[in-house]
Each structure stands twice: as C-alpha cells, then as structure tokens.
Structure 1
Amino acid sequence: MEKQAPSEMGIIPSESPSYIKLLIVNRELLVTHIRNTQCLLDNLLKNDYFSEEDSEIVCACPTQPDKVRKLLDLAQSKGEEVCEFLLYVLQQLADAYVDLRPWLLEIGFSPSQLIQSRVVVNTDPVSRYTQKLRHHLGRDSKFILCYGQKEELLLEEVYTDTIMELVSFTNESLGPLGSLAGLLDHSTGILNEQGETVLVSGDAGVGKSMLLRRLQGLWASGQLDTGIKFFFHFRCRMFSCFKDSDTLCLQDLLFKHYCYPEQDPEEVFAFLLRFPHTALFTFDGLDELHSDFDLSSVPDTSSPLAPAHPLVLLANLLSGKLLKGATKLLTARTGIEIPRQLLRKKVFLRGFSPSHLQAYTRQMFPDRTLQSRLLDQLEANPNLCSLCAVPLFCWIIFRCFQHFHATFDTTLQLPDCKVTLTDVFLLVTEVHLNRTQPTSLVQRNTRSQAETFRSGQGMLHTLGQVAHQGMEKNLFVFSQEQVQASQMQEGDLQLGFLRAVPELGPEGEQPSYEFFHITLQAFFTAFFLVVDNKVGTQELLRFFQEWAPPGEAAVASCFPRSLPFQCLGGSGLVGEDPFKNRDHFQFTNLFLCGLLSKAKQKLLRHLVPVAALKRKRKALWAHLFASLRSYLKSLPRVQVEGVSQVHGMPTFIWMLRCIYETQSEKVGKLAARGICANYLKLTFCNAYSADCSALSFVLHHFRKRLALSLDNNNLNDYGVQELQPCFSRLTIIRLSVNQITDRGVKVLYEELTKYKIVTFLGLYNNQITDVGAKYVARILEECKSLAYLKLGLIIIASDGGICLALAVKNSKSICDVGMWGNTVGDEGAKAFAEALRNHPSLTSLSLAFNGISTEGGKSLARALQQNTSLRILWLTKNELNDEVAESLAEMLKINQTLQHLWLIQNQITAKGVAHLADALQENTGITEICLNGNLIKPEEAKVFEDEKRIICL
C-alpha cells in the first residue's frame, strides 16, 4: 500500500512514523517556537546522543534561530532514535516549550519504551527558577522563630488551622472555607469574576501571617495543585522603607529584592509577562503600609520595564495594570477595605474555636498528663479560654506557662482569676527577662515580678523608646541606624522582642529590625509612656485623640491619610470613624489602661516615682471618662416600635476592651449609665469571645432589662460563658453567626431558665446539632415569654426537629419560628404539623430547605385545616410535588387566615398550580402564593396571569 503524503499540518501517519521527516516537515515551526536550545543540548549530551563537539557547534551559531536549525540538522543526521528523543524532551518539558504543546497533541506523539527509559533533566531557566522559589519559600516557612531568637520550631508542629469564613462584599457570611487551597479556588466564594485579589482579613494576632507562611510551605512542597509556577511573597511594611527618590522596574523588584534567577533572568521574566496567570503574589499587612510618598504626584505605570517608585509598582500590581491575570492574596487587619472592582473574594479569619483550642493544646503539650491537666484548667477558666481564641495570645500564654513549668519544676497551674491582656504581656515580658539570668542546677530563680522588672528596667526603657518612636510615625521596621541611635545593646536584642528582618531591604543586606508582633510594639510603647519621667500628660494621651467623635477636624488633622487607601483609590480615613484600621493605636491605649490600673500600681511604683504615676493615672482617668461620655452620646440611636435602639460601632468594642483592662468598677458603672437605650446592637463589630468578658464587665451594672444583638461576630462557646453575668437582664438575645455549638446552647439553657425573661432567641447559622436543639426545646418549655425563635441554617435533623415541634406545641407564647436550612425531613414536618393543629399563638413558621417531601407536606396541609393563628408559612426549597399542592389547595378552601404561602423551588407543575388556583376561588384571606422556581413553563404560567395572588415567575 502506497504511503500517504504528509498533510499540510505536517502530521506523519502513525502506522509508519518517521521522526526525521517530522522534523523536516515542521522545521520552520520548530525554529520559530524553540527558544531554549541549551535545555535540549543538556539532555542530548546526558544521554550520549550528542558529543561536546556537537554542542559547541550549535552554541557557536550567532542567533537563536540559527542554533535551532543547526541542532535539528545534527539530530536528523544521527538517525530516528535521536529525533524521537528530541521530540520526547519537547513533550516532557512542557513549561520550557509551552508553544509546542498544541502541535505535540495534534501529531499524537507517543514515544517508544526505549525512549521513555531515557533520563530527561530539566535545565530550563523557568523551571530552575520555580525550583529555586520552592526551595526559598520552603526554607523560610519550615521554621518559626520564638521569642528569644534562640529557638526555632517546626511550623507543621505548631500550626493549627483557624476558622476561615467566606464573606460577601458587605461581610455577610457565605459559609466556611475548609482548606487553604480554597483561597486559590476559582469556583467558590467568587464575588467578582473580573477581580484578581483575594482579601484575607482579621484582627491583630488572629494568624494572617502564619496562614501565608503555611500556604508558602504547602506550595514549596508541591501540595498545592494550583498550576502556580511563581510565588512572590512581600510584606507591605517593607515598602515603607523605600525613599521617595527610589525607583525600580518590576523585574528588579521581583528578582533583586526577592529571589534572583540563577540563569537567564530575561527569559524567566519574559515567561512571567507572557503567562501572568502562573504567578501568585502575597502581600502581608496592607494596614502596616505607611509612607508620605504622594502617589497622586506620579503617573500610573502599565509598563513592566519602566522604572517607578516601589509603591507605584505595588499599586499597579494590585490594580491589575501590571501583570493582569496574576493572583494576588492580600492580608489586612479588620476594617481595611479595597475597591470592589479589584476584589475576587473575601475571607475572614476567626481564630480558634473551642475544638481548635483543644487541638492546639495537644500540639503544644505532647505529654498526656500535662495536656489533660491543662485542658481541665482551661475548661474551668472561660476568661482565659476567651483570650486563647486569638492564636497569638494563646501561643504567648502557653509558652509562658511552659517556661514556668520547666524552670520551676512545678505543677502547671493557670490563674483562676480574671486575666487581662495586659497581664498576659507583663507575663511574657517577665518570662524573657528571667531567661537573661544565669541558670543553676542547684539554686532556682525566685525573684518576684517587681524585682524582675526593676532589674530589666534599662533594657525595657530602650525597647519602649524604639517602639514609641515608630508608633508616632506609623513605622514598624527600623533601620540599623535607628536602633543604634537608641543606644540599644546586643543584650537588648537578644531579649527577643526585636528581631532582624529576614528579607532584603532597599539598602541591600544592611539589617533592619522589627518587633515580633504589632501588639508587642504597642505594649512597649505604652510601657514607655508610663515609666519615662519626661513623658507629660499631653504626650501620654497622644493616641487617645483617635477617640474623638467621627468627622472632627482636629482628629482629621492629627493623622495623615492612610496610604493603602490612596494606593487603591479609596477615600482614606478623613471624615470616617477615626478609630478604624488603627489597631496599633488601639492596643497602645488598651495597654495604657491596663498598666495604669490600680492593680498594677504595686509593680510600677518600683519603676516610676509614685507622684508621677498618680499624675499620669489621674490624667488618663479624666480623659477616659470624658471620651467615654462623649462617645456614648455620639452613638446613633433609632426608635423601633417604641424601643430605643443604640448601634455600637467597632469603636465601642475597643472602648469596652479598654474599660475592662482598667478593672475599675467605677469606670464600668459610668459606661453602663451612658447606655441610654434598651436595645444594644453590636452586629458586625468583629467581637471575639474575650470581648464578652468586657461587655459583661459593663452590663452587669446595667439595672434595667436590655435587648442585646451580637449577630455576625466571633463569640463561640466561651463568649456565651462570659456573658453569664448579663443574662439576668437580657430579654432579646441575638447570637446568630457566631460559631456557637451545643456546649454554648447548654450554657444558654442553664442561664435563661433561671430568669425566664427572654422573649427573642436568635441562633441562626451556628454549629448546633440535635443535642443543642433539645436544650433549645427545654428553654422554650420553661421560658413562658419566649415568642421568637430563630434556628435557621444549623444542623438540626429529624430528632431535634421533633423535640422542638413538641415544645412549640406546648408553648402558648411562641409566635415566630424560623427553621430554614435544616434537615428535619418528613418526620420533623409531621411533628410540626401536630404543633400547628389548633395552636393558639404561632403566626409565622419557616421550614424552608428542610428536605420535606410528599408525606411531610401533606401532613402540614391537613394540620392547617385546624389552625387559625398562622399567617406566614415558608416551604421554599423542599421536595413538594403536585400531590402536596392538591392537599394545600384543599386546606385553602377551609383555612381563611393564612396570608403568605411560599412554595418557591419545589417540584410543582402546572397541574398543581391549577389546584391552588381553583382553591383561591373559595379563599379571601390568602394574599400570595409564591411558586417561583417550580416545574412550570413560561407558556403554562400565562394561564394563571389573571390570578394576581399566584406568582409563578
């Protein structure tokens, strides 16, 4: 049979492959798209297909196309096997020869067993650079440095996942994010398909930097299957170190200030520009970026080759004007927002839940006896557990107690009193001051805390001076000159609170320094303000200017606009809440309140003259009272159905934190008197469980009954425990979207049934199961005034549904029950049907999205024939069919009191709608039957257009 001539595409018939002919026919295609001859030469040499002389002949050619032509000539001259191997290298090193992928697929190249046994080495510059990045990030993310800078811990041994939650543009929960890989998943949580930036936000210490480090480690080890070839990690605070006159091109920023390719940087950069979607940029701490550089004075740049100020490069990377298509992962403290057009998805970090805390305890204390003892003590101390919900504070607390246990060889014992954050940071300072002392196997260190601080007063003052100077200028990275100017000694650095910055800065390899965490810089700033004799009352209160009412000109003039907002086209902070996005100032104020509290006077009088201490304490107290009174008066108030509702902003949460740090009952009473309302709304304030301690500290002085809404925060079970002093006053309790489990519901049952005054209980979107549902049922049975119960989107199945339905049946006060998004099924529906029959008070019931099908739907319909109280019934997103629709139609001929019937997204056809339409001829009470999303065609829906109460489309 005569062989078929090669096609115009150059495809050689598979029954008689000739690789020599294939290379000849496609010669110009290969010359055009092979840009890397060195990688081919390396493999041909390694497998003895080419000699050194062959390689020299190819390399001697003047241009790249000439090199490819010479290489092809030599390969063809050496026979079919060499040509086949050359094609095999092109196939195996797809990244190096990306333009030839379609052609190789088109010709269906399949190498022989002999060729597949040959070794292929990847010396492509892009692949080599990817390997170098993996090594670089793997090394940097493998260990974390502890306080003291003398001990490194494996990240995988101390890292514990925290709660990650996808949120909407308006910060409403879209559900949990199950893994770090989900951050880069382009199918879940997408808010804007055109956006390129994933924003990860959370409070200081919640684990944003640790999350990035873990993500780096996973990518470096190949455990993230995302197609990412380039991973560039920058900390935003480093951009503040550049001078106004500094300029860089994008290639220098990536290679000279991050990681330099070992060979052919131009080729690597060209690949990056051509395939930006293969790059991931992580920018840690947008809120820590501060500079006087005016971005408005320079034009935007879209050229990757044009030199520009590094901040201009950062802004244009984030906006997509540079490397459009690259993924950007940005972290920032809560409150930072970026323009929606840049945003692809938003993720909130919520810290440790009780289960996370238990897992972390097991990691930090491998000894089971010690572990069990610690967990028992934590369970007995919800206040300390509340602080441990923030991973940083948890780690500090655990490390301190590890130190004391190992040093003093005593039983690990957690304090059984109320612990403030100031106590925790004083404790960690004491630990590391003790570590500077000589150790002895015979004689143990028995110094008191006061003696320890007095002996380290000099180095603490120096650290405080550096911290304060940086805080005043919004600086978090200090040059070597700045550190030397403070006369800091080597021993002060060895204390461990300042550490050398690992990345290269703009000055090359000259080391820079930073505090271990922003909260430590705030603590030492406050410490300096308290113990330095030269600090007057005006300077002491410097950062309390942030508490001025929003919009005051004095506040706006005190602080320049925040650079991140300028970079992203936002409006800055002028005219907005002056306490927003200023955690470093907020923590400084908080630690001032703690250090100048009455309880700390015994310690501080050894460090500062008593008269100066009294003067500063008096000034702080006066200013705190005035600020508190002014702020409480400025809170927005509305009248809703005769109820005076005050809406507390996140600033109010920080106020509460500072009040709690004082541990002053006088301040607590003042704050309680300032809440001139009977409904306190604190939704979306990013309150943590520890904030419930502060809230209770104030509200237990509130003598009237109060409604409290804490929806959409981060309270968890420990927060519920910390609210115990408030429950004797609370009539409305809204705790939706707060990671509360059955344990928290048990606390609610134990407390609410003591006082029996609750009228509204909202627990929507928590982690409550049938066990918790049974506690809620007992609350409903025993609290005779409970009228509203919201239990949607939790984990209640048929057993829990049956218990709740029985409690509803026996309640004469309940009027509204929301059970949307559970799985009570037909059995639960039947139980609610029994509850509905002749119920005296229930007016609204939602059983939407509950897996209810024919039998459950028919039971509800029959029960409603004997009900005259229900006005609203939601059965959206179930499995109801025409048979159920027919039963509901029969019900409507009898029941004249039901007004709203929602049957959206079920399985009802036009036949079922016809039954409902016929029933409406005998019903004058119903105002709407919503049937959107059922099995009804548009032309079928037109038949019912005249019946306005039926809504099909």
Structure 2
Amino acid sequence: MEKRGLGEMDTVPPPQPPCSHVKLLKTNRELLVTHIRNTQCLVDNLLENDYFSAEDAEIVGACPTQPDKVRKILDLVQSKGEEVSEFLLHVLQRLADAFVDLGPWLLEVGFSPSPLIQSKTVVNTDPVSLYIQKLRHQLGRDSKFILCYSQKEEVLLEEVYTDTIMELVGFSNESLGSLDSPARLLDPAAGVLNEQGETIFVSGDAGVGKSMLLQRLQGLWAAGRLDPRLKFSFHFRCRTFSCFGPGAALSLQDLLFKHCCYPERDPEEVFAFLLRFPQAALFTFDGLDELHSDFDLSRAPDASSSPWEPAHPLVLLANLLSGALLRGATKLLTARTGVEIPRQLLRKKVQLRGFSRGHLRAYAGKMFPEPAARDRLLDQLEASPNLCSLCAVPLFCWIIFRCFRHFHRGACDGGGGGGAPTELPDCTVTLTDVFLLATEAHLNRTQPTSLVQRNTRSQTEALRAGRATLGALGRLARGGMERDLFVFSPEEVQACALPEADLQLGFLRAVPEPGLGEDGQSYEFFHTTLQAFFTALSLVVDARAGTRALLRFFQEWAPPEDAVVTAAACPPHLFPFPCLGARRPAGHDPFKNKDHFQFTNLFLCGLLSKAKQKLLSHLVPAAALRRKRRALWAHLCASLRAHLRSLPRTRSGGFSQVQAMPTFIWMLRCIYETQSEKVGRLAAKGICANYLKLTYCNACSADCSALAFVLHHFRKRLALDLDNNNLNDYGVRELQPCFSCLTVVRLSVNQVTDSGVKVLYEELTKYKILTYLGLYNNQITDVGAGYVARIVEECPGLTHLKLGKNQITSEGGKCVALAVKNSKSILEIGMWGNQIGDEGAQAFAEALRNHPSLVNLSLAANGISTGGGKSLAQALHWNTSLRIFWLTQNALDDEVADSMAEMLKVNQTLKHLWLIQNQITAKGVARLADALEKNTGIMEICLNGNFFKPEEVRGFEDLHIHLQSP
C-alpha cells in the first residue's frame, strides 16, 4: 500500500510556472530548428552569461550540420531549466536582425522577459548585424566632413549643409511639388511615376549639390535617422564603372563587398540575407554623366541577372537600376541636367534647383556666424546680380563664400588672407573670375602668416609666384582631358612634375585606386569643372600650344547631326580641326558626355578676354595672348554664324524661324565669358533669323545673362521662344537688356512665378511692341494674372496670349477678361487648365459681347458649370469675331447645350465649338442638332466624352457633330 501510495504520489506532476519556457521550446522545436540559422550568436550569448560552459560550446560545435547544432543547443538549454530557456528566447527577441523569421512567432506567443532576464548582457555577434554596424561606421566616417578645396582643414558637413530646392517632376519635367528634406526623397508615396520602376533619378546642373545630397543621405542613414527598414547602404560613383576593362567580370557579391565594405564574418550569410530582403538596402549611384562609356542603359546587352554569376560591372549596374538584381531595393541615381534614363527604369524623378534666396541666407548664416561679415557679404551679392546668380549653384556659392571668408579674415587678423581685397569685385563676375579667385586664394595659403604684417601680394604676384604649380596642374589636367581621363595614378602626377607639397593645396584629392578597392591611392581634381579650368589655363599659358591645340576641344561642340561649317566660314589656316558639326571620325563615341570639353572652351574665352590680358601677361608673352585671342574670337563668331545659317528654318507669320540647338547655348555662354562688347556685337550680326527658337535646350537662368549679352546688340525686332527650359524668375530678370527688341516672348514651362511676370510687365510696357506672350504651364497666380492684364491693356499690338495651366482663379480670370474686353488687337487667348469657374466665365462673356477682334478662345478645364456656360452662350449672340471656342473638360450640362443651340440660330460666324468631356446627354445633342438647321456657318461641334450612348445620337454625324460615347 505504501509503495502504491508513493507511486501514486510520483505520478502527480510538480507545480509548473505560469508560462513554461522549457515547454515553449519543446512544443515549437521544429519551428526553431527550421528558422534558426545563426547558432554561433546563441552560443556566444550563453557563454557570456555563464549559462554554457566551454564544454557545452564544444559539443555544439562538433555537430555536423546547422539543424543538428540547433537541436543540440535546445537540448542543453532545456536541460538547464527555465531561466536559461527564457534567456534563449530573450536573445531571439532582442537580436531581431539575426533571427528575423522568428519575430512573428515571438509576437504570437506573447513572449515578455522577466526583469532578471532583461538585466542580462546580450552581445550581437550576428554577421549581418556586425556588417550593418561596420557599414554605418564607415559611411558615418566618410560622410562626416565636407570635401573642400583646402585639405588643411576639415569642415563638418552638419555645420555647413543647407538644403537646396528639390522638386518632384513628371516624365516631361512638369512640376509635381517640392520636397522639404533629403529624407523625403525616399518617401514611398511621394511623386511615384511608375510603380514598376526601381530608380529614383535626381538631376541638376553641374555643382548644384547632387553629390552633397547623397553625402547627406549617407550621413543620415549612418546616424539611424532614415527609414529604419533600410539596414544596408551602398554608395558608388558611376565613373568607377568606366575604369573596368572590356573583359572585366564580377559577381554582385564581389561588387558590393570588395568595392564598398567587406564583412568581417561569414560574407555568404550576409549576402544571402541581402538577397532575401533586398528592400532593406539603399543604393546610391553618383554621376551617371561621368560614366565615360558608350554603354546605353536603354540597350543593355543580354546577360545573366543571376546574383552569383560574374558579369561586367556595367551590366551589373544596369541590372541593379532595372530591378533585374535586388528588385525592391531603394536606388538613387544622379546625373547632370539633360541626361535622361529610360522611362521603364524610373520610379520617381527629382530636379535640384540650387539655392533659393532663403537657402542662400541660411547658408550664409552657417558660413559667416559673425553678423557684420554676413550682412556685408549679402549686401555685396545684392549689388552684383551676376555674382548672386552664381550663388544659386551651391558649388560656386561655396567657392565664393570660402574666398570671401579667406579675404575677410585676412583683413581682420592680418594673416592668411593673401593680397586680395577685402571686398568682392563690383563689376560683372564670370565663372572664370570665380575660379581665378579660388586659385589665388589657395596659392596664397602657402604664404607664411604674420601677426604684425599682412601679406599684401597682388593677384598677379600670386599667380606669377605659383607659375610652376599652375603649369604642372595644367599639364595634368590637359593630358587627362585629351584622353578622357579624370583619375590619375601617382606616376602620372609625378610625370607632370607636381611636388608633393602642392598636392595639399586642395586642387587635387586622393581617391582609392579605381577597380581595386584596396589601399592604392590615385588623384583626381576636386571637380571636373576645375580640371576644365586648368586645361584652359594650360592652353593659354603654354607657349607651345598654338592655334591648333587651342581650338582642339571646339570640335566637340556639336553632335554629328548639327550643321557642317563650310571651308569658307572656317579658314584652314585658323581652324585645322573639323569645326562645328563636322563629320566625326569612325568610332566616335555618341554616348560620351561633353560638358568637360564645353567648360574648357568656356574658360578659354574667359582667360583670353581683354580684361585678363594684364593679369596673364606675366605668365605668357603679350603677343602670344593677342594671337590666341584673335583666333578664338574669329572662331566663335564664324561658328555662331555658320551654326545658325546651316540649321533648318521655316517661314511663318512673317518670321524667318530657326530652331537652335543646345550647342547654341554653349556658344552664347562662351561669348558672355569674354565680356567683350565687340564680340557680342559681332555675334548679334551673325543672327540671320528674326525668330529664334530655343525650346528644350536645357537652358538655365544664368544662360539668360549670356543671351541678353548678345541680343541687346540685335538692332531688329526679334521673336524669342524659350519654352520648356529651366529659366525661372531670375532668368526673366536677366533678359531685361533685350526686351526692347522682342515682339514675341515665349516662356512656357519655365517655373515663372508672379515675381517674374511683374518684371515682364515693367519691361514690356516700356516698349509696347509685344505681339505674342506665352506663359503656359508656369506658377502664376491671380497676382501675376493682374500684371498680365496690364500688359494686355498697355501693349496695343498684342495679338496672342497663352496663360493656360497656371494657378489662376476667378479673381485673376476677371482681371484678364476685363483687359481682353478693352483690347482692340487681341486675336487668341489660351486659358486652358486654370480654375476661373463661373465668375471668371461670366467676365469672359462680357469681354466676348461685341468684341471686334478675338478669333480663338480656350476656357477648357476651368471648372465652368451651368451658370458660366449659359453666360458665354448668351454673349455669343452679339459676337461676330470668334471662330474657335474650346470649352472642353468643364461641367456643362443640357441647359448649357440648350443655350448654345439658341446661340447657333443667331451666330453664323463661329466655326468650331468644342464641348468635349462635359455632362451633356442625348437631349442636349438633339437640341444642338436642331439648331444646325438654321446655321450655315458652323463647321464642327465636338461632343466626344459626354453622357450619351452611340445609339441615342445615331444620325447626327452628318450635321458636323463629332460624337463618341464615354
């Protein structure tokens, strides 16, 4: 009985804790064996907290396979009881990246560790986590300091970084709104153009801050201030991909690890995690325009997109951008304005616009904490519009501010300032002036400082003293430019006789050897624009560089389809190379970016200007300067004339119209850089057309300065079409000198706001010769509409006004309508895509009544409903001038159709009436059809997209009514 009783007592289970962690491990054993891949991390933590002995660790390590190791760990942990089992679960929960598959299960079972277990140390030896930590450390270090010209000081990026204008744009570069911070670039909901696209494409002019933006993003990621789901970040410079030979082949793993950051442990496990969770990766590719290769993303060669199979790095780049590799990863690609990528790759598109005035003031506040110095700088910028326009480009702004700060400090403390004046020049400042200023400042940094006497050597003395350095830098830059080489080996630097000390001036910076990813050092100029400057300087000061060498890079000015300069226009004794648009030699690379050549030409013009003759006469004989200048001026003017004469032209509306190319913009930039009124006059004489069309030329606001520099010498009346560029309000202001000769001004799709329209009003009403004003698709509100109305009132010859797709409401509409009512010359008004509503429509109705000249009116997509539509119809009873009337995409119903029908019984002069996409039914169509029996003048009524079925209106097509159901 006793034994039976003891036996019975033995079968009673001992008391269990409320939640048995041992039992949890037992019942979910297969789940854990399946999903635990990182056993070493568990063993490390169990050893760290003395839950495992060295012998336990050896037992686990002796297991042949990973599942066997997991089973052995579970056996040992369960045998040690509840505390150890709870700690194991705690490690699985804490190290979420290491045990990512178990997160949902831990949430499901509601695991919550006790205070005792929470106090235990958890060490993260997971290879993926360690790699993420290493990546954050490396990118944090690399992005911490700004890359500045002078390598003698390091400037914290955080202290000087200022956001620029970042604008979301559509496929056709139409504005979709602005972004207020770099992190918003990665917002999955903002500005998506193509859900299937993989690449966020960021474009902008040279120096606008594309690289700085990526550096800022890298710093934010490293600091954990971006989306926490982004666990990896890989940064590439596109020019690196040009350094691989045709036969090079890499696997994706080698590209990521050997050229970015190598894992300290288990690279295969890290790579497997990345392949499994590509959405956790952020890729940045900087400078597609620096990819000096004939590789075309739209025609990528067929190649394996396997992440393990080696391929050429360019193929890997294309496969990453397209999503063939690591689909779902976030990919940012930057390039200069004008470079495009295939639409199927685009996820969203962003344009950097540089500094606004507010950004400029914020940047000045960071660069100049002292209020007196900051206010003086801003006053000087206000007094020098050309200098201020350069400051819209962050790179040039940085150069100008650094030089100014250098000179200001020199004036204040007597040291390090060189001999430059304490104020920036008040005259027109060109890019050449800025780079000469930067060169002088950094050459003067080598001078010893003194507390009692300031270094007072002049700019001429600084350049003369640095002649050897400038010569060596020029030889290096020019040799690279001739070979499309932008990264130089130590041997190439040494061959140019550049001393080691001069490497510290800041013109060059050390970079890792391309294609190796090890510790090998090469050198590159801080920016390709700087290399172009030194190339031009070498061509000017090198006595051995004759006319032939001087004009070498001008043969790169135009694409093959541009016009050929004839021998008569391009004398062989001056121009031995093929001139503008001459046929290229076989094998010419059509994909090669040419901006570096264009900037070389630009700096040549600036350095050979008359204003620089005295400065450079100490570096090169005056006779050689004059000879080179004459050859360059002759080439510029002949090229401009030949370029315009050889372009196809059409005659329309009394104009001889020519469509110029982006090459023409570069010519104007070069002519402006000369700052020679004589050259400007000669160039103006070469414009042999009176309608200059510069649409889609990627012209920016600074180009308007160059355009005005030439056109203000044009003595005849001129039509100027600048639609679809990037001019903005500053560009409008820069055009002021040439408004006196402009009869046609087209500035559609150019980000013009009310401020720019005010300038147009002030200038165009001075001369009153305007006949055509195009401001379609800008950012004009009712305020700007008021200025436009005054232009209509005060320019008696204005016949055409295009004001569609702006932000004009009823108030602005009423202003424009009143001006139209009082105009005796207006023929055509385009107001499509605004929101003037019924009030605006009623104002236009008053304008239409008895109007003597208006022929074509578009009020499409303006929110007009029954009241406005009926007012317009009634006004047309008394109008005999209107021939075409567009009311497409409004909210017009059968009542309006009835009013239009009554109007058509009276009005016999209207020819085309467009009522597409309204709310008219078959009843309204029938009323219009009845009215046509009494109308002999109407040619068509378009009713496509209204509320009727085809069978309801069958038979009306013969009555000039175009019908199509929705």
Q: Is TM-score (shorter-chain normalized) higher than 0.5?
A: yes
The answer to whether 1:230 aligns with 2:229 is no
1:428 is aligned to 438
Structure 1 stretch displaced more, 470-479 or 157-166: 157-166
* Pairwise CA distance, 1:399: 2.0
1:71 is aligned to 73
Amino acid at match of 1:543: F
For normalisation by structure 2, the TM-score amounts to 0.87
2:600 is aligned to 588
* Pairwise CA distance, 1:427: 1.2
1:952 is aligned to 965
Contact map agreement 1:84 1:111 (CA 8 A) in 2: no
Structure 1 stretch displaced more, 243-252 or 114-123: 114-123
1:397 is aligned to 400
1:364 is aligned to 367
SS in 2 for 1:501: strand
1:128 is aligned to 130
Match of residue 756, structure 2, among 735, 741, 744: 744
CA distance in 2, matches of 1:904, 1:21: 72
CA distance in 2, matches of 1:354, 1:787: 36
CA distance in 2, matches of 1:136, 1:457: 39
Gaps of 5+ in 1: 1-15, 563-571, 574-579
The answer to whether 1:461 aligns with 2:471 is yes
* Pairwise CA distance, 1:135: 2.8
Amino acid at match of 1:741: T
Residues 242-257 of structure 1 mapped to structure 2, 5 A cutoff: 242=244, 247-257=249-259
The alpha-carbon distance between structure 1 residues 43 and 820, as it changes in their structure 2 partners (threshold 3 A), is farther
Contact map agreement 2:641 2:687 (CA 8 A) in 1: no
Listed one character per residue, the Cα deviations across residues 221-242 of structure 1 (whole Å, up to 9, x for unaligned) are: 3333283332211112233444
The answer to whether 1:488 aligns with 2:501 is no
Amino acid at match of 1:254: L
Contact map agreement 2:746 2:774 (CA 8 A) in 1: yes
CA distance in 2, matches of 1:80, 1:921: 96
The alpha-carbon distance between structure 1 residues 192 and 639, as it changes in their structure 2 partners (threshold 3 A), is farther
1:762 is aligned to 774
Listed one character per residue, the Cα deviations across residues 590-620 of structure 1 (whole Å, up to 9, x for unaligned) are: 1111111111111111111223223322332
SS in 2 for 1:754: helix
CA distance in 2, matches of 1:202, 1:364: 23
SS in 2 for 1:256: helix
1:408 is aligned to 411
Amino acid at match of 1:735: L
The alpha-carbon distance between structure 1 residues 778 and 481, as it changes in their structure 2 partners (threshold 3 A), is same
1:501 is aligned to 511
CA distance in 1, matches of 2:928, 2:341: 49
Amino acid at match of 2:783: V
1:7 is aligned to none
Amino acid at match of 1:434: N
The answer to whether 1:781 aligns with 2:793 is yes
Structure 1 stretch displaced more, 783-792 or 283-292: 283-292
SS in 2 for 1:728: helix
Contact map agreement 1:466 1:486 (CA 8 A) in 2: yes
1:705 is aligned to 717
The alpha-carbon distance between structure 1 residues 62 and 844, as it changes in their structure 2 partners (threshold 3 A), is same
2:625 is aligned to 613
Structure 1 stretch displaced more, 124-133 or 582-591: 124-133
* Pairwise CA distance, 1:874: 3.7
The answer to whether 1:385 aligns with 2:394 is no
* Pairwise CA distance, 1:439: 1.8
Contact map agreement 1:593 1:658 (CA 8 A) in 2: yes
Contact map agreement 1:930 1:952 (CA 8 A) in 2: no
* Pairwise CA distance, 1:157: 3.6
Match of residue 738, structure 2, among 721, 726, 740: 726
Listed one character per residue, the Cα deviations across residues 368-401 of structure 1 (whole Å, up to 9, x for unaligned) are: 4444444344333322223233222222122222
The alpha-carbon distance between structure 1 residues 850 and 223, as it changes in their structure 2 partners (threshold 3 A), is farther
* Pairwise CA distance, 1:150: 2.1
CA distance in 2, matches of 1:451, 1:916: 85
Residues 180-191 of structure 1 mapped to structure 2, 5 A cutoff: 180-181=182-183, 183-187=185-189, 189-191=191-193
* Pairwise CA distance, 1:868: 3.4
Q: CA RMSD in A?
A: 3.6
The answer to whether 1:442 aligns with 2:452 is yes
Residues 545-556 of structure 1 mapped to structure 2, 5 A cutoff: 545-547=555-557, 550-551=560-561
SS in 2 for 1:863: helix
* Pairwise CA distance, 1:781: 0.9
For normalisation by structure 1, the TM-score amounts to 0.88
SS in 2 for 1:639: strand
1:200 is aligned to 202
* Pairwise CA distance, 1:830: 3.2
CA distance in 1, matches of 2:48, 2:870: 77
Contact map agreement 2:660 2:693 (CA 8 A) in 1: yes
Match of residue 647, structure 2, among 629, 635, 647: 635
CA distance in 2, matches of 1:47, 1:845: 83
Contact map agreement 2:127 2:265 (CA 8 A) in 1: yes
Contact map agreement 2:290 2:593 (CA 8 A) in 1: no
Structure 1 stretch displaced more, 667-676 or 346-355: 346-355
1:565 is aligned to none
The alpha-carbon distance between structure 1 residues 942 and 190, as it changes in their structure 2 partners (threshold 3 A), is farther
Listed one character per residue, the Cα deviations across residues 400-459 of structure 1 (whole Å, up to 9, x for unaligned) are: 222222212499644332222111111111111222212222222222221111111111
The answer to whether 1:600 aligns with 2:615 is no
Structure 1 stretch displaced more, 707-716 or 23-32: 23-32
The alpha-carbon distance between structure 1 residues 695 and 456, as it changes in their structure 2 partners (threshold 3 A), is same
The alpha-carbon distance between structure 1 residues 648 and 521, as it changes in their structure 2 partners (threshold 3 A), is same
2:291 is aligned to 289
The answer to whether 1:650 aligns with 2:668 is no
Amino acid at match of 2:953: F
* Pairwise CA distance, 1:730: 0.5
Amino acid at match of 2:686: G
Q: Could you say which structure has the greater relative contact order, defined with CA pairs below 8 angstroms and 6 or more residues apart?
A: 1
Alignment length (residue pairs): 920
Listed one character per residue, the Cα deviations across residues 735-762 of structure 1 (whole Å, up to 9, x for unaligned) are: 1222222222222111101110111111
Gaps of 5+ in 2: 1-17, 413-419, 565-576
CA distance in 1, matches of 2:42, 2:782: 64
SS in 2 for 1:727: helix
CA distance in 2, matches of 1:906, 1:134: 57
Listed one character per residue, the Cα deviations across residues 737-796 of structure 1 (whole Å, up to 9, x for unaligned) are: 222222222221111011101111112232333322222111111011112222223333
2:37 is aligned to 35
The answer to whether 1:329 aligns with 2:356 is no
2:702 is aligned to 690
* Pairwise CA distance, 1:462: 1.0
CA distance in 2, matches of 1:311, 1:642: 51
CA distance in 2, matches of 1:930, 1:74: 83
Identity %: 74
CA distance in 1, matches of 2:921, 2:129: 58
1:5 is aligned to none
The alpha-carbon distance between structure 1 residues 916 and 486, as it changes in their structure 2 partners (threshold 3 A), is same
